[in-house]
């Protein structure tokens, strides 16, 4: 089994844990987050972290063009 990843969301100034998922599902989770961001009118950002809370990818609604940045 691949390493676990954590999805976090921020819509009101602080990050909230959303779900834990296997790393091999990252593309599916990213696609779902893009849909949610559009449905929310750009009012929510997402990030994916590892078990040590290191940010691996971020989808920041504050910046154009909106898209994932991998670190």
Identify whether the C-beta of residue 5 lies closer than 8 Å to the C-beta of residue 50: yes
Backbone angles phi, psi at 25, to 5 degrees: -105, 10
Taking residues 28-56, what's their average pLDDT?
96
Q: How far apart are CA 29 and CA 27, in angstroms?
A: 5
First to last CA, the chain: 23
Q: Confidence band (pLDDT; 50, 70, 90) for 64?
A: confident
User: Residue 45: is its pLDDT beyond 70?
Assistant: yes
Q: What share of the chain is helix, strand, coil (3-state, %, to 5)?
A: 25, 40, 35
Q: Confidence band (pLDDT; 50, 70, 90) for 28?
A: very high
């Amino acid at each position: 089994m691949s390493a676990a990843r954590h999805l976090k969301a921020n819509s009101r100034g602080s990050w909230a844990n959303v779900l834990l998922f296997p790393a091999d599902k990252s593309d599916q989770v990213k696609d779902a987050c893009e849909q949610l961001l559009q449905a929310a009118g750009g009012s929510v950002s997402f990030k994916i972290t590892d078990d040590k809370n290191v940010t691996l990818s971020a989808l920041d609604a504050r910046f154009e063009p909106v898209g994932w940045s991998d670190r």
